[in-house]
């Protein structure tokens, strides 16, 4: 079963006073391209996170975000750094005396606005327990993204099968025109010679040339190879994931055979059928680019 490279996953977890949110988006890309936005506390784990993403997501342009929201309780006010506040108070007094500047009328308004006076207790090191929660949350977001990819992949698979079956149907429509085309080529050449009595020709030699010409226009090999490629495309979709590149290669081979059919057709209706095949194939090529 194939998967799309387009996907989205989001997971949320609680740890202590934090709300941890993981969001992952993916789009099509030739390889694995990860861009990340990670809250400062977890940046030491960035390489591990990238490895975790790469092992499960394989390919695609991955946009990873990890952020936290700290829950602040009403009864848990930020503490005042009394030692720093006292130091600021002494410095302001000294500056006032030295420069003969009046002291402030509202000391608290000035002092509480000084840098680092209102401090907030934060955990500076990532604990093992917290990392386990974060890692599990990342896995949850990845699984959501993979589920999204599978749903998109199922829609792609239905579309591919429709395109392939259409090409197969068009291929069968060529057969009656193929026989008619060869007979018309024969009749046209014979008629041209018979209408010109001044030309002397060897009928055996003419027959040999007709056979040679008709063999050059024969498309049985192209039809057989095209049929094989179409069947192989369907079988490949039923294999394990990560078949996008292989499907791309097969679609190129399908294109070669369709182009050869077009160049050999030498018949207006056959050429119209080939154009329809090319239209179906172009739709396949566009969607293959988004297939994992």
Contact 141, 22 (CB under 8 A): yes
Strand, helix or coil at 13?
Answer: strand
183-212 pLDDT, tens per residue? Answer: 777 777 777 767 776 666 666 766 676 666
State the residue for tokens 């999204």.
Answer: 148
| pLDDT-based confidence at residue 74 (cuts at 50, 70, 90) | very low
What length is written for the chain?
A: 292
Residues 146, 125: Cα–Cα separation, whole Å:
32
Q: What was the pLDDT predicted at 200?
A: 65
Overall pTM surpassing 0.85 (yes/no): no
pLDDT of res. 143: 97
Task: For residues 21 and 16, give the distance between their C-alpha atoms in angstroms, rounded to a whole number.
Answer: 14
Instruction: Give the mean model confidence (pLDDT) for residues 119-126.
Output: 63
Measured distance CA(133)–CA(142) in Å, rounded: 14
């Amino acid at each position: 079963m194939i998967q799309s490279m387009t996907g989205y996953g989001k997971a949320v977890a609680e740890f202590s006073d934090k709300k941890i949110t993981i969001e992952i988006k993916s789009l099509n890309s030739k390889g694995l391209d990860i861009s990340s936005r990670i809250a400062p506390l977890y940046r030491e784990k960035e390489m591990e996170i990238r490895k975790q993403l790469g092992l499960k997501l394989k390919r695609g342009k991955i946009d990873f975000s990890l952020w936290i929201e700290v829950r602040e309780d009403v009864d848990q006010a930020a503490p005042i750094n009394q030692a720093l506040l006292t130091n600021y108070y002494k410095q302001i007094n000294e500056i006032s005396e030295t420069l003969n500047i009046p002291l402030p009328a509202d000391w608290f308004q000035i002092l509480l606005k000084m840098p680092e006076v209102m401090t907030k207790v934060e955990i500076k090191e990532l604990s093992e327990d917290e990392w386990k929660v974060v890692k599990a949350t990342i896995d949850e977001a990845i699984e959501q993204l993979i589920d999204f990819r599978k749903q998109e992949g199922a829609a792609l698979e239905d579309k591919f099968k429709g395109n392939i079956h259409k090409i197969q149907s068009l291929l069968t429509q060529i057969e009656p025109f193929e026989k008619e085309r060869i007979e018309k080529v024969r009749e046209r050449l014979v008629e041209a010679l018979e209408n010109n009595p001044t030309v002397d020709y060897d009928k055996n030699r003419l027959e040999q040339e007709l056979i040679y010409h008709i063999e050059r226009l024969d498309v049985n090999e192209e039809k057989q190879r095209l049929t094989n490629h179409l069947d192989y495309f369907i079988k490949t979709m039923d294999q394990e994931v990560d078949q996008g590149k292989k499907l791309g290669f097969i679609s190129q081979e399908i294109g070669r055979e369709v182009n050869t059919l077009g160049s050999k057709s030498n018949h207006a209706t056959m050429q119209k059928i080939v154009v329809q095949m090319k239209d179906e194939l172009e739709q396949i090529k566009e969607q293959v680019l988004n297939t994992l």
